[in-house]
Amino acid sequence: MTTFTRSTIPDAVRTNGATPNPWWDNAVVYQIYPRSFQDSNGDGIGDLKGITSRLDYLADLGVDVIWLSPVYRSPQDDNGYDISDYQAIDPMFGTMDDMDELLAQAHERGIKVIMDLVVNHTSDEHAWFQESRDPHSDKADWYWWRPAREGHEPGTPGAEPNQWGSYFGGSAWQYDPQRGEYFLHQYSKKQPDLNWENPAVRRAVYDMMNWWMDRGIDGFRMDVITQISKVTDPDGRLPGEPGSRIEDYPAGEEGYSSPYPFCSDGPRIDEFLKEMRREVFEHRDGYLNVGEAPGVDAVRNGYITDPAHKELDMLFLFDHLGIDQVGPKWVSRPFAVQHLRHQLALQQEAVKDHGWASLFTCNHDQPRVVTRWGDDSSEEMRERSAKAFGMLVHLHRGTPYIYQGEELGMTGAHFTKLGQYRDLESINAYRQRVEEAKVQSPESMMDALALFGRDNARTPMQWDGSKYAGFEAPGAPTEPWIAVNPNHVEINAAAQIDDPDSVLAFYRKLVNLRHNSATVAAGVWNLVDDDDASVYAFTRTLGDDRLLVAINLTGEAAALPAQVRGLLEDGVQESQMVLTTMDAIHSAKALAAGKLEPWEGVVVEL
């Protein structure tokens, strides 16, 4: 097993603005989607024992933290993001003893573990919600309950409290006959939104978080945490409700308006996050908390992650991931380097004086970047583009996140039939857009699912070239819960682990560079060219140390921008090549010739 060291960045070097610097300032986080990572018992679903069995692989990669998507008890309507018991492990993933063993084994290897936390909503099978269905219960207002519109029969079209639509299709309101009222669900109808306006709800959430922290986990990744605060009028009415003083936006092509503008980065979000920090984290050391941040822009990220404000350490922003979409998620436009550069530059500039950035292109909700923006049409182009986007993410200032299989250059699923998908969002979107609203053709919707569908990131981890890619034994009694990508025969960890030119080997170099170069971890970021259609270039500077990063993010050879040529006017020696997606000799010659090959990226010491 490779032994990695991680140097300490001196407090004299500013990272996020805290003193002393946080422990995670040069760390790398690895996200695990448990049901697709490693199955230990042959039931077709990944589990905690499977993760534990692969910890040496993660230690060899060099990562410092693993983030687990939800493993709590759940009906699995949204693959575990609908939690029915926060303090129990779902049997499909194992037991609490298995969780404790994973924590112990990870910590023994110097790897911290953070858990996904979903507290904007629960499952409708959670005890809190079941009690809330009784209007006389002390939990009666733990969720967003509203009566049917006057003059309408409850449960019929038009009786909903307002015209909001769910992000997963259909109305954002579900009628409950037992209570005789509707409840709000921004996501699935089995994911009712908690009412964070109620201090008892917040107290219960903090108590649960403390229970986990006391058990030994190292923090949380908080799902859609910036949607816990909703806009209401002075009387507590939501926009568009009868009598509300706040007007809703018009309905869109699917027949609904969106709750997003009123439920994202709401008026009390800073208050709630500060309270959470006081109640859960302030008296602890060695933790990490990162929030998924719908509705938060780069400037707000700088505020929320500024340690002086005592909210969250990091946020996941999504503006850069919407650059190839027009309006709805399912309508695409071509990838453009200029659009990506613009969004990432905004994020970097917003934290140049305080705060911190999360660096990522992939996760369980996003398609594989090598298929989405790269080129998986051939083995050579797949490897080149996988390395190029890896370099792009890991050479920016902030904390890099690797999503399982990204370090292998795993591709999208390339499904061609709706029946191959398992994701609730994708299936509902097809039904809503194609069959009900009829705003998209079946052919274009299938193309959109192949490009943007979440299942592209959820096919089993490709460990080797055997029948089920090593995710489970070839003779397992049950097939994986979702089909293994057929290209696992060529793309897998076993084939790359001893190959010095593999994508996996390149990611090891990226992690090592993050660990041991304070310039990469915390140096000042400056854009070199703001308009080139092919090459994304920037510098990282710390004292007298200055690095130039230039990456051709296209499948065609590209001339170096004039500003880059100006920085290299004295020539480039092979010894100046810190890292390249190809090889040092080739890249030095390419720079001397004023060009980069398709998907070629370089890090040069100036």
Among 498, 507, 510, residue whose Cα is nearest residue 404: 507
Rounded Cα–Cα distance for residues 149 and 573 (Å)? 73
Q: Going by DSSP bridges, is the β-strand pair 524-527/399-403 parallel, antiparallel, or unpaired?
A: unpaired
Residues 71/90, Cβ–Cβ less than 8 Å: yes
Among 523, 520, 529, 519, residue whose Cα is nearest residue 341: 529
Question: What confidence score (pLDDT) does residue 327 get?
Answer: 80
Average pLDDT over residues 94-112: 98
In the DSSP assignment, the letter for residue 485 is: P
Angle between helices 503-516 and 379-394 (to 10 degrees): 10
Computed over every residue of the chain, the mean pLDDT equals 96
Tokens (6 digits) for 153: 């029969």
**H/E element, 202:** helix 199-215
Could you please report the per-residue DSSP string of 304-368? HT-GGG-S-SEEE--GGGGTTB-SSTT-B----HHHHHHHHHHHHHHTSSS---EE-S--TTS--
In the DSSP assignment, the letter for residue 121 is: B
> According to CATH, where is 3.20.20.80 located in the chain?
29-120+199-226+268-412+459-503
Higher pLDDT, 326 or 172: 172
Enter the CATH code of domain 523-605: 2.60.40.1180
Lowest mean pLDDT among 28-32, 427-431, 602-606: 427-431
Rounded Cα–Cα distance for residues 561 and 337 (Å)? 13
Q: Going by DSSP bridges, is the β-strand pair 65-68/558-559 parallel, antiparallel, or unpaired?
A: unpaired
Rounded Cα–Cα distance for residues 230 and 164 (Å)? 13
Among 451, 448, 489, residue whose Cα is nearest residue 468: 489
Enter the CATH code of domain 29-120+199-226+268-412+459-503: 3.20.20.80
The two counts, helices (H) then strands (E), for the chain are 18, 20
Question: Is the four-CA dihedral 494, 499, 503, 508 of positive or negative sign?
Answer: positive
Percent of the chain with pLDDT over 90: 97
Q: pLDDT confidence of 4, banded at 50, 70, 90? A: low
**Which of 64, 160, 223, 600 is an active site residue?**
223
Ramachandran bin of 420, using left for φ above 0, alpha for ψ from -120 to 50, beta for the remaining angles: alpha
User: pLDDT per residue over 271-329, tens digit each?
Assistant: 999 999 999 999 999 999 999 999 999 999 999 999 999 999 999 999 999 999 998 89
Percent of the chain with pLDDT over 70: 99
- The long-range contacts involving 156-160, CB below 8 angstroms and separated by at least 24 positions, are none
> According to CATH, where is 2.60.40.1180 located in the chain?
523-605
Count Cα neighbours of 359 within 13 Å in the Cβ-side half-sphere: 27
Beta carbons within 10 angstroms of residue 380's beta carbon: 11
Count Cα neighbours of 366 within 13 Å in the Cβ-side half-sphere: 28
pLDDT at 1 over 50: no
- 6 phi/psi in degrees, rounded to 5: -130, 110
Q: ω before 20 within 30° of 0 (cis)?
A: yes
Question: What confidence score (pLDDT) does residue 424 get?
Answer: 87
Rounded Cα–Cα distance for residues 357 and 396 (Å)? 9
**Which of 64, 292, 365, 425 is an active site residue?**
292
Q: Is 292 a catalytic residue?
A: yes
Residues 18/307, Cβ–Cβ less than 8 Å: yes
Among 360, 450, 362, residue whose Cα is nearest residue 412: 450
- How long, in residues, is the chain? 606
Rounded Cα–Cα distance for residues 375 and 516 (Å)? 31
User: pLDDT per residue over 55-78, tens digit each?
Assistant: 999 999 999 999 999 999 999 999
User: pLDDT per residue over 499-535, tens digit each?
Assistant: 999 999 999 999 999 999 999 999 999 999 999 999 9
Rounded Cα–Cα distance for residues 225 and 71 (Å)? 18
Lowest mean pLDDT among 3-17, 256-270, 529-543: 3-17
Place of tokens 């908080």: 222
Strand-pair partners of 288: 219
Question: What confidence score (pLDDT) does residue 336 get?
Answer: 97
pLDDT at 2 over 60: no
Residues 396/359, Cβ–Cβ less than 8 Å: yes
Beta carbons within 10 angstroms of residue 265's beta carbon: 18
Q: Is 472 a catalytic residue?
A: no
Distances (CA, A) of 235 to 196, 238, 246, 272: 16, 9, 11, 20
Could you please report the per-residue DSSP string of 407-428? GGT-------SGGG---HHHHH
pLDDT at 3 over 80: no
Q: How far apart are the first and last CA of the chain?
A: 34
Among 374, 404, 411, 412, residue whose Cα is nearest residue 392: 374
User: pLDDT per residue over 436-494, tens digit each?
Assistant: 999 999 999 999 999 999 999 999 999 999 999 999 999 999 999 999 999 999 999 99
Burial class (CB in 10 A: 0-12, 13-18, 19+), 366: middle
Residues 219/289, Cβ–Cβ less than 8 Å: yes
* Residues near 279 by beta carbon (within 8 Å), at least 6 away in sequence: 206, 210
User: pLDDT per residue over 397-443, tens digit each?
Assistant: 999 999 999 999 999 999 999 999 999 899 999 998 999 999 999 99
Question: What confidence score (pLDDT) does residue 381 get?
Answer: 98
Residues 526/547, Cβ–Cβ less than 8 Å: no
* Strand residue runs (E) in 54-107: 65-68, 72-73, 85-89
